[in-house]
Structure 1
Amino acid sequence: MDSVKWFIRVLLIFFLPHFSISADTITPDHFIQDNNDEVIVSSGNIFALGFFSPGSSRNRYVGIWYYQIPVKTVVWVANRDNPINDTSGILRIDGRGNLALFQGNQTLPVWSTNISIAGAGNSFAQILDSGNLVLLQNDTGKEVLWQSFAYPTNTRLSYMKIGYNFRTGLNQSYTSWKSPDDPGVGNFSFRMNPGVSPQMVLYKGSVPVWRSGTWTGKMWSGIPEIAQNFLFNDSFVNTDDELSFSSDTINASLMTRYVTNETGVSQRILWNNASQSWIISYTTPIELCDIYGHCGRNGYCNPYLGDFECTCFPGFEPKSP
C-alpha cells in the first residue's frame, strides 16, 4: 500500500508542473513544436496559435486561426515570408525574452518579436479571445511588450486598427497574401492616407485602386453600406497623436473579419452558424466606376452609360475616338 502511495506521489510531482501551465500561453518553460501538432488556445476557445500549411503548400508557418470553425480560417501569420520546409519548427521564448520561431537546431530564429526587453526570462506570450497574440512581462502580466494586432497581415479583426500612431511611428496597414497557397506579402495593401481629409485607400503596389471617401462623422462617404448596419461600433480618431479607424462588433459572439485578398478586393465577412460558412457582407471595389481614377484626370465614370462607362467633363475630348 505504501509503495502505491509513493508511486502516485511521484506521478503528481512529475505531472503537476505540466497541469499548471495555462493552455493559452507560451512561457520560458513551455513551448510548442510542429512535429507534435501542438497549439495554444485562447481561454474562451475562440482562437488558436500553432503551425499550419496553407492550401496545397507543404511549407510550414506559425499562424492564428479560429479554433472552433470547421473551415480553417487563418487571420495572422508570423513568418509569412520565411516559411519552414519541414516540421522541425519550435516556437518558444528565447534567451532575450522574445517570442521566436526556430527551425530544428538552428541558433538564429526564422522569425522573432525582436524587441528590447529588460530582464531576460521575465516574459510570456498569450493568445487572447480577441485574436491578439501578446507578449507580456511576467511580474505584472499587464504590460504589453509586443502584440500581433500592431503587425497585421491580410486580416483586420474587431478591436484592430488601421492607421498611424504618430508618437511611435507605427503604421498599421493590411497586405494581401501572394496566393491561397502562399501567405507572403502580396501586391495589394489597404492603408490609411493621412492629410487634410484622411481616407482609407486600397493600393496595387504604389497605385491607388479604391478609396473610402472622407469620414462624415458616422461613416466613410464611399462606403454607404456601413451606415445601414447596427452590428458594429465604428470609431475614427484624428488627433496629433493618432490617426486610425476601427470597427468593433457590438455583440461579442459575432465573428467577423475584414480581408484584403490577392484578387485586389477588400471584404467584410461574417460567420453564419446556420450554414456553417462565411458570408460576404460587402466588397470593395464592386464595379469599374469604383476603381480610383478609372476614367482619367478629366473624365467621370457612369456605369449606366452603356458599353463605355467613361465620358469627359465639358471642355475636354477623348484622347482616342
Structure 2
Amino acid sequence: MNSVNWLIRMLLVFFLPYFSFSADTITLDNSIQDNNDQVIVSAGNIFALGFFSPGSSTNRYVGIWYYQIPVKTVVWVANRDNPINDSSGILRIDAGGNLALFQGNQTLPVWSTNISIAGSGSTFAQILDSGNLVFIQKNNGNAVLWQSFGYPTNTWLSYMKVGFNLRTGLNQAYTSWKSSDDPGVGNISFRMNPGVSPQLVLYKGSIPVWRSGTWTGKMWSGLPEMSRNFLINVSFVDTDDELSFSSDWKDSSLIARYVTNETGVTQRILWNNASQSWIISYSIPNDQCDFYGHCGPNGYCNPYLAQESRRDAGMLH
C-alpha cells in the first residue's frame, strides 16, 4: 500500500464518526446552531429546518421552509410566541431526550417537544420531504413520538389533518400569524367543529366567518367545486379514535399549500415556476354569499346577483 492510500484510509477512520449523521436529522451529536447558519434538509431537498427572521423583524425563530424556492416561504414555526432576540439559539436533543430550543446558556428551553419518553435509548429528529418534522425513538421500533404535522401553524400541506385525535384530545387547527413580521398565534383560525354533523369552520376570534357545510361522504356540501374534476384526493375519518379531514394533490408535481392568513381568509396557493412566484388560485370565503349568516337564517343569497349589483353600482359613479 502506498503512502497516499494509507493516509486517505487513516483520515477516513479518524473523521468518519464526525460525518456519520444524516443531513436531514438532529441527533445527540448533531445540533443546529443559529450563529453558524446551520440547517437540516430533507432527503429530496424539498424542505429545510433552521433559524429565520420573518419580514422586517430581527427576532429569531425555528421554522420549516421550502428549500429550493427562491422566495423563503415558511410553513411551520416552533417557537412562534417565544422569539429569540439574538443569534445564540441552538436546537438540540436535551438531557431528557426531547428536541428542545435553547437561547444562549439558559437552562430552560424556549420551546420543546415536551413529551414523556419511556425507557432509555437515543432519540432523533428528522425533516421529511412532506414537510413533516418527526421525532423518533430508536430502541422503540423507530416509533414516532411527536410530529410537527400534529401541531400546525398557519399552513396546511398535503397529508396534514384538520380535526381531532379523540384519544389524546389533540385539536389540529390552523391559526394565522399576527402579521408578516410576527408568526405568533393570530386571530384567524381554520378548524373542524365536531358534533353530529362535523363541519370545517373559519373563525375570526370566536365568530364564525365561513363554514364548509356537512360531509356528504364524498365532499363538503358547501364546496360544490369539489365535484368538478377536483384537483385533490380527500380522506374523511370518523372513528372512536379520530375525527379528521386530510387531502393530497392528484398531480404530485404541484407545489401547493393552503394558508390561513391574518387578513381573514384561507387561500390555496400554487407555485408558478415560469414567473418564480406564488399564485393564489382560490380563497375562502370566495364571495359575499360565502360569509356565515350573511342573509340570515332563512335567507337566499345569489352570488351572481351580488356581482351584478356591484357592477351596476360602479356604473352609476
SS at match of 2:28: coil
Measure, in 1, the Cα distance between the counterparts of 2:242 and 2:4.
Answer: 64
Residue aligning to 1:315: none
What aligned pairs does 1:168-207 form with structure 2 within 5 A after superposition? Answer: 168-207=168-207
Measure, in 1, the Cα distance between the counterparts of 2:113 and 2:250.
Answer: 31
TM-score normalized with structure 2 length? 0.91
- Decide whether the 8 Å contact of 1:96 with 1:121 is kept in 2: no
Aligned amino acid, residue 197 of structure 1: S
Measure, in 2, the Cα distance between the counterparts of 1:107 and 1:120.
Answer: 22
Residue aligning to 2:42: 42
Change over 3 Å in CA distance of 1:3–1:107 after alignment to 2: farther
Measure, in 1, the Cα distance between the counterparts of 2:259 and 2:226.
Answer: 16
SS at match of 1:215: coil
Residue aligning to 2:148: 148
Measure, in 1, the Cα distance between the counterparts of 2:229 and 2:244.
Answer: 20
Between the aligned residues of both structures, percent identity stands at 80
Residue aligning to 2:108: 108
SS at match of 2:145: strand
- Decide whether the 8 Å contact of 2:121 with 2:139 is kept in 1: no
Residue aligning to 1:93: 93
Structure 2 unaligned blocks of 5 or more: 311-317
- Decide whether the 8 Å contact of 1:60 with 1:84 is kept in 2: yes
- Decide whether the 8 Å contact of 2:121 with 2:137 is kept in 1: no
- Decide whether the 8 Å contact of 1:95 with 1:120 is kept in 2: no
Residue aligning to 1:218: 218
**Is 1:62 the counterpart of 2:62 in the alignment?**
yes
Change over 3 Å in CA distance of 1:269–1:229 after alignment to 2: farther
Change over 3 Å in CA distance of 1:80–1:120 after alignment to 2: farther
Aligned amino acid, residue 291 of structure 1: F
Measure, in 2, the Cα distance between the counterparts of 1:229 and 1:152.
Answer: 28
- Per-residue deviation, 1:140: 5.1
Measure, in 1, the Cα distance between the counterparts of 2:7 and 2:103.
Answer: 38
SS at match of 1:234: strand
Residue aligning to 1:316: none
What aligned pairs does 1:231-250 form with structure 2 within 5 A after superposition? Answer: 231-250=231-250
What aligned pairs does 1:69-80 form with structure 2 within 5 A after superposition? Answer: 69-80=69-80
- Per-residue deviation, 1:268: 1.4
Aligned amino acid, residue 282 of structure 1: Y
Measure, in 1, the Cα distance between the counterparts of 2:120 and 2:153.
Answer: 28
Measure, in 2, the Cα distance between the counterparts of 1:119 and 1:58.
Answer: 40
- Per-residue deviation, 1:10: 5.5
- Per-residue deviation, 1:223: 1.6
Structure 1 unaligned blocks of 5 or more: 309-321
Q: Deviations over 1:115-152 (max 9, x none)?
A: 00124551000000111000001235630000000000
Aligned amino acid, residue 183 of structure 2: P
Measure, in 2, the Cα distance between the counterparts of 1:6 and 1:103.
Answer: 44
Measure, in 1, the Cα distance between the counterparts of 2:276 and 2:141.
Answer: 36
Measure, in 2, the Cα distance between the counterparts of 1:196 and 1:307.
Answer: 38
- Per-residue deviation, 1:229: 3.8
